[in-house]
Chains A and B, each alone.
Chain A
């Protein structure tokens, strides 16, 4: 086996609220290889978003290590571009095109004509060329998320981090966006670490799924080698199986109360 692109080993994450010290994840291990579509799946409270933020460099692990290409992650950086759930992740004072250019120039990756060309390219890939000069407030939610994806991809990060990017969209748009993301992946085979709480979405998008249990988040199972075009019957069976795994825990918990 080749060396992993991203390696998370024994990571415990804790954060403080006003009254409590909360342990979000406890000794989580996983490895992401190049071109994986790696999904962190779990119910709310399993620390999947916190884990993603730690990979993003926004949060230091209390225990364990996260490394990208063998280098320890310390701060946020453009080699790990993040796509958030919130629609306000675009800079409202910049047009669609300027938003992409901003990321390229601010991170000193590219400038001038090269950046403009790269941005136009990325926007065309997500099908928004017609809206390149629109401001974010004129766009629908799905379009805003497309711009965020375009911005992330234009930066050509080692790994694209997506934090429930489609969760705030309506069901029809969400399905369309999932298809589009897969089509984009087909083109460039980028590596993506994707957080979701929807089992269906995980199976549809992922090539590997890491199942996390809540309070605190621990690895419950890892599902490998999910085919790109999984047969509907297999998907349904897998969904049921994952559902049972998550659901069983809840019954156990209920009995302990």
Chain B
């Protein structure tokens, strides 16, 4: 039977040596330079600073719009005299306190949410109520409750951190694959051990996102709150510095204060959080 059917034929093709042209060749210097992202961004910043300087010089009114060089000078002067650093540190200290309390509360709420169904419903409801509400809108209320001082600031800070962190952590936990949970239970993990050893690391990408958003909210909320009332027990933060200098009509200092707010935000978001991400979720291939 088989002899009537043809056997498949194999035709082996010969691969000759160097006939396929370029396989790999370095880019030209210009292409290489243009591929550097930081260099492109730096040139944008440079052009913006130049435009600022030229416009302010043309306007020639330091009360309305100081030049870039005046602003830089004010920044260095205030930094050198230590005023700006003290004020920035006061803000950051306040922020860290509120941030830590907010995260701790978020942790408790999320743990309740993963362990009981009613806890999960509670968290869902609370986050839907408070997430759309800007924390700063609670400041008038906080001031009547806690007075002008530490309590009010902490109250709005906790609000700005708590709900985003809890929401992101909880949705991160829910997204952990069933297989991973089963692997954990297979190794006799349950309760808090399962949460700490499986759920938290597995949900780290969205936990970090929550922490980042929470930080950004808190920073903006704090500066805004300090503009309303900055001094608590004789120490004002960056927001108060801006407000104070505006009242003294020292506009270059106001700009220097604003720049400091931006710089602190950038450092935390792009250095600290970026580093944490590189060391964790990027390294583990959980996020690109």
Output the least CB separation between B117 and chain A (Å).
Answer: 15
Given A84-B179, A138-B285, check contact A91 B188 (CB 8 Å).
no
Let me know if A185 is at the binding interface, CB within 8 A.
no
Chain A proximity of B282: nearest CB distance (Å) = 10
Which residues 151-198 of B have a CB within 8 angstroms of A?
A: 177, 179-180, 182-189, 193, 197-198
Which residues of chain A come closer than 8 Å to B286, judged between CB atoms? 92-93, 137
B225 within 8 A of A: no
Surface stretch bound by B, among A73-81, A115-123, A191-199, A229-237:
A73-81
The answer to the question of B209 belonging to the interface, with a C-beta cut-off of 8 Å to chain A, is no
Residues of A within 8 Å of B198, CB to CB, are 91
CB-defined contacts of B202 to chain A, threshold 8 Å: 91-93
Q: Are B197 and A93 in contact (CB under 8 A)?
A: no
Q: Do B204 and A89 touch (CB < 8 A)?
A: no
CA gap between A86 and B180 in the complex, in Å: 10
A24 located at the interface, meaning its Cβ lies under 8 Å from any Cβ of chain B in the complex: no
B residues 232-288 with Cβ under 8 Å of A?
A: 280, 283-286
| Chain B residues near A106 (CB-CB < 8 A) | 184, 187-189, 193, 197
Nearest A residue to B189 by beta-carbon distance?
A106
Q: Which residue of B lies closest to A106 (CB)?
A: B187
Cα A135 to Cα B201 in complex, Å, equals 14
The interface bits of chain B over 23-43 (1 if a CB of A lies within 8 angstroms of the residue's CB, else 0) are 000000000000000000000
B204 cross-chain contacts in A, Cβ below 8 A: 93
Given A86-B179, A91-B183, do A107 and B188 touch, yes or no (CB 8 Å)? Answer: yes
Q: Is the CB of B183 within 8 A of A135?
A: no
User: How many chain A residues have a CB neighbour from B under 8 Å?
Assistant: 25
**How long is the Cα–Cα vector from A80 to B198 in the complex, in angstroms?**
19
Assess whether A214 is interfacial by the CB under 8 Å rule: no
Query: Does A102 count as interface, using CB distance less than 8 angstroms?
Result: yes
* Smallest beta-carbon distance B249→chain A, Å: 54
Task: Return the chain B residue nearest A99 by Cβ.
Answer: B183
Residue from A56, A58, A91, A137 within 8 A of B180 (CB atoms): A91
A137 CA to B205 CA in the complex, in Å?
15
Judged by a CB distance under 8 angstroms, whether A11 is at the interface is no
For residue B286, give the distance in angstroms from its CB to the closest CB of chain A.
Answer: 5
- The answer to whether A82 has its CB under 8 Å from any CB of chain B is yes
Contact A137 B185 (CB under 8 A): no
- Minimum distance in angstroms from A83 CB to a CB of chain B: 10
Task: Given A77-B188, A107-B188, verify A89-B280 contact (CB < 8 Å).
Answer: no
For residue A177, CB closer than 8 A to chain B, the reply is no
Q: Which of B186, B197, B201 contacts A81 (CB 8 A)?
A: B186
Shortest CB-to-CB span from A120 to chain B, Å, is: 19
- Which B residue's beta carbon lies closest to that of A105? B187
Q: Is there contact, CB below 8 Å, between A56 and B177?
A: no
A88 at the binding interface (Cβ < 8 Å): yes
Could you say which residues of chain B place their CB within 8 Å of the CB of A132? none
**A76 CA / B179 CA spacing, docked (Å):** 13
Q: Please measure, in the bound complex, the distance between the C-alpha atom of A135 and the C-alpha atom of B185, giving whole angstroms.
A: 22
Within 8 Å by CB of B177, from A75, A88, A107, lies A88
- Which among A84, A93, A108, A135 has the greatest number of chain B C-beta atoms within 10 A? A93
Q: Is A32 an interface residue (CB 8 A)?
A: no
B182, B280, B284: the one within 8 Å of A76 (CB): B182
Residues of B within 8 A of A86 (CB): 177, 179
Please tell me if the beta carbons of A135 and B179 are within 8 angstroms of each other in the complex. no
Name the residue among A92, A102, A108, A137 with the largest chain B CB count within 10 angstroms. Answer: A92
Chain B proximity of A58: nearest CB distance (Å): 6
Identify A137's interface contact among B183, B187, B285, CB under 8 A: B285
A165 within 8 A of B: no
Q: Do residues B180 and A82 form an inter-chain contact, with CB atoms below 8 A?
A: no
In the assembled complex, the CB of B287 is this many whole angstroms from the nearest CB of chain A, namely 10
The one of A58, A103, A136, A137 that contacts B182, using a Cβ cutoff of 8 Å: A58
Contacting residue for A135 out of B186, B193, B284, CB 8 A: B284
9 A-B pairs with CB atoms under 8 Å apart are A81-B186, A82-B182, A86-B179, A88-B180, A89-B180, A93-B284, A106-B193, A108-B188, A137-B284
* B residues adjacent to A (C-beta < 8 A): 177, 179-180, 182-189, 193, 197-198, 201-202, 204, 280, 283-286
Residues of A within 8 A of B (CB): 56, 58, 75-78, 80-82, 84, 86, 88-89, 91-93, 102-103, 106-108, 135-138
- Extra inter-chain contacts (16) besides given A76-B182, A107-B187, CB under 8 Å: A56-B182, A56-B186, A58-B185, A75-B188, A77-B186, A77-B188, A82-B183, A88-B180, A92-B202, A92-B285, A93-B286, A102-B197, A103-B186, A108-B188, A135-B284, A136-B285
